[in-house]
Amino acid sequence: MLSNKIKLINVLFAFLVGLSAFFSTNLTLAQNQPTVTIHRYESPPIDAVNLYWIETNKGIILIDAGRFLSQARYALDEILAVNKPILGILITHPHTDHYGGLPVFVDAAIEDVPIYASEITYNDLKTDSQGFIKARNQLHGNDFPDKDTIPLPNHIVKTGDTIKLGGLTFEVIDLPENETITTTLYYLSQQNALFAGDFVVNQTIPFLGDGFSSNWLNQLRSQQLQYPEETIIYHGHGKPDRVERLIKAQIKYIETMRRLVAEALAGDREVTPSEQEQIVAQLEKQHSDYKTSLVLPNLRIGNIKGIAKELS
């Protein structure tokens, strides 16, 4: 039965790859500044993940690399069409849906392409310490690379660093323990563009299973004050939007989850299956427009368990 479900999921993914979409935002800047176009490749619509590529006069900078090899090839076709070199790849965090396409882009680069990531992200890709790569291989087979074929970051970054590529200067903010074990933000201050991975998402159920929700809330509140109000967050799932709206919505969702779980824990210090169902029902009512992942149908339950363990 399980193998049949896995086959069905893979068939759906193969079909949905062809329904993926491209979006572009043009940013015309002051004199002597490069003209920047931010392209968003979203795939597939039922389990959407964003891959961004920034086009400047000098070349292309990638933010993350997508989930699957097949999806990366679709995005690469669009990138090659502009006839500019890939100047660098910036990885935001060590979740497989954001680096599975790395081999495709590295192989397509004319020269050795620099790959930027935090030390924690580098170590996780190298060791598969969370077992995510192994799980993807088992579920999706040849459309996800083996651990040994995933190019490792060759430039380790930390908070306070700057990255200069294609006439642009990215400011690095590395934040451990939020949606994942670490998230690296890349900020273009002159363009008012913040590339945030899954630190903030839009109308998408976040991952809270690691038990970092308290730390994540503190980071969100702090980051909310760091950027001009016109800053756009280009994140991992959903449509980009202004920093204030997205961070407020992210805070509200996490606070709601923590409140509902805390109320369930108040009596006997556990969240029963019945209480889990009640929490899910309330979340679906309050956030009916929030999407979940096709391969993580029980994400809400996993989040409840993660927060319950954290609060206990």
Phi first, then psi, for residue 261 (nearest 5°) are -70, -40
* Domains observed in the chain: 2-253 (3.60.15.10)
Residues in the chain where the model's pLDDT stays below 70: 1-20, 22, 24-33, 45-46
pLDDT in tens, 223-235: 999 999 999 999 9
Per-residue b or e along 115-140, where b marks 16 or more CB atoms closer than 10 Å to that residue's CB: bbbbebbbbbbeebeeebbeebbeeb
pLDDT of residue 294: 72
Whether 89 contacts 105, CB under 8 Å: yes
pLDDT of residue 26: 59
User: Which residue in this structure is represented by tokens 């790395």?
Assistant: 102
pTM, two decimals, is 0.91
186: part of which helix (H) or strand (E)?
strand 182-188
Q: What are the CA-CA distances from residue 91 to residues 77, 124, 135, 147 (Å)?
A: 20, 12, 20, 16
pLDDT (0 to 100) of residue 291: 83
Output the six-digit token pair for 30: 């002051």
